[in-house]
Amino acid sequence: MPELFDHDGKPAAHHMARVNGIRMHYITAGSGPPLLLLHGTPKNHYYWYRILPYLTPHFSVIAPDLRGFGATDKPPASDGYDGRINAQDMAELMTQLGHKQFSIHCEDRGATFGFCTAGLYRDRVTHLSFCEMMLSKQLTEQSFFTRENIKAQYNQTGVWNWHIPFLWMPHMAEMLITGKEREFWTHFMKAECYNPSALDQEAVDEWVRCSQSPGGLRGILETYRAHWANVDVEQEIIDKGKLDCKVMTVGAPE
């Protein structure tokens, strides 16, 4: 497992916590107001290797491996790992660390869970930075096989999310990805990058390693198999009205 370093070149500290019925791996670094970082697919805490040194002078950074990812447990699930259970994970982790209120920066699949945490624990999340993701209902619409969707990235109008139904499919995704983890995830990550060469090989190697570990691929796929549960919990949040925290959204076709 490669190390992450703070602004002084000091390695981040690694920890394990028992939260919400699982063992969760997370790192901490820096000092200041608490900032929770939530990674996307198929990544883990190492996703933040480039920006961690810029954050640690200003924040106490907490970066977990989400449920199903990295060194965190990958328990059996009948309907996947949805936004509600991930929000419970995050709220309980931050409670254990003594942070009654905190900010969240999240991307991709982690942004789904960051939004759910902010929506279900409104008195606790003060700022939400929501990056490179859509809410699940819109994600569904972007996954359809239409002329507009398949041309979206080339027209700079969006991204065709073909992988949403594919990664949801029981057994089929495992059958086609197992043994081809490096090829699949390398293409998956680099195909949507504006500059694919900016993604270090060490990072790709780490995420491939995690995917190849026992339960690693299934853990990743469980987040996709919770898609319709995420639609429901996000609608529940929307029905309660606007979030109380300050929100910044960031996104691009590449």
Query: pLDDT, tens digit, for every residue of 187-241?
Result: 999 988 888 998 999 999 999 999 999 999 999 999 999 999 999 999 999 999 9
Query: Could you tell me the CA-to-CA distances from 203 to 1, 14, 181, 200, 244 in Å, in that order?
Result: 10, 17, 14, 5, 35
Chain CA centroid to CA 80, Å: 14
Instruction: Give the whole-angstrom CA distance, residue 223 versus residue 109.
Output: 8
Other C-beta atoms within 10 Å of 216: how many?
A: 21
Burial 34-67 (b: 16+ CB within 10 A, else e): bbbbbbbbbbbbbbbbeebbebbeebbbbbbbbb
Question: Number of C-alpha atoms within 13 angstroms, CB side, residue 238?
Answer: 9
Query: Could you tell me the CA-to-CA distances from 244 to 86, 141, 175 in Å, in that order?
Result: 20, 27, 43
Closest alpha carbon to 207 in 43, 71, 14: 43
- Supply the pLDDT for residue 158: 86
- Supply the pLDDT for residue 90: 99
Other C-beta atoms within 10 Å of 173: how many?
A: 21
pLDDT level of residue 153 (50, 70, 90 thresholds): confident
Residues 35, 55 contacting (CB under 8 angstroms): yes
Residue 190, Cβ density class (10 Å: 0-12 exposed, 13-18 middle, ≥19 buried): middle
Closest alpha carbon to 27 in 18, 151, 153, 36: 36
pLDDT level of residue 42 (50, 70, 90 thresholds): very high
Q: Where are the beta strands (DSSP E) in the chain?
A: 13-19, 22-29, 34-38, 60-64, 102-107, 125-131, 246-250
pLDDT level of residue 252 (50, 70, 90 thresholds): confident
What is the identity of the amino acid at 130?
A: F
Range 62-87 average pLDDT: 97
The pLDDT of residue 254 is above 70: no
Residues 87, 242 contacting (CB under 8 angstroms): no
Regarding pTM above 0.95, the answer is yes
**The CATH classification of domain 13-250, taken from the options 3.40.50.1820, 3.10.450.50, 3.40.50.10900, 3.10.20.30:** 3.40.50.1820
